[in-house]
Amino acid sequence: MGTKFGVLVGLGAGYVLGTRAGRERYNQIKKQWLKVWNQPVVQDRVSDAKKFAADKTFALPKQLGTTITNVIKSAAQPGTAGEKLDAATATAKQSQPAVKKAAKTSAKAVAKHADEVADAIDDAADEISDAIEDTVKKAKTTAKKTTKK
């Protein structure tokens, strides 16, 4: 999926840079890309991914903040230094599963939505590739007609 997109970008860049039309072709390709990028389906996926990733990504810092606060509260309880250390250590150990769970949840959520966005962009790249092929065919046809005259 990523390789296909990279190849398309490379071919597109080479074509744009190598063509006599240069800037005009670049503008045509850019216009096609923006058409695809601005399609509601692609933008919906991007928007959903941003929202979901933000929600899930903040689960880990929130859990870490809660854990740190609880450890500090445990260490601030009355008692000897050893008792405070034991209380803080126990609180940290109790929080460890929740922190691990939040980290896994965040990682899975971000990865899932990154894949969905990548799929949407891959689909868009396919459409751009098709549009470029159509444009190249039209340009060749026009060039043949021009040279025959």
Let me know if 49 is exposed, middle or buried by CB neighbors in 10 A (0-12, 13-18, 19+): buried
pLDDT computed for residue 65 by the predictor: 83
Let me know if 105 is exposed, middle or buried by CB neighbors in 10 A (0-12, 13-18, 19+): middle
pLDDT computed for residue 56 by the predictor: 67
Helix, strand, or coil here: 60? helix
- pLDDT in 10s for each residue of the chain, 149 residues: 556 666 666 666 666 566 555 677 777 777 877 877 787 877 887 787 777 767 766 777 777 788 888 888 888 888 888 887 888 888 888 888 888 888 887 777 777 777 777 777 777 777 777 777 777 777 777 777 777 66
CA gap 39, 32 in Å, rounded = 11
pLDDT computed for residue 141 by the predictor: 79
Report the 10 Å Cβ neighbour count for 125: 20
Contact 49, 119 (CB under 8 A): no
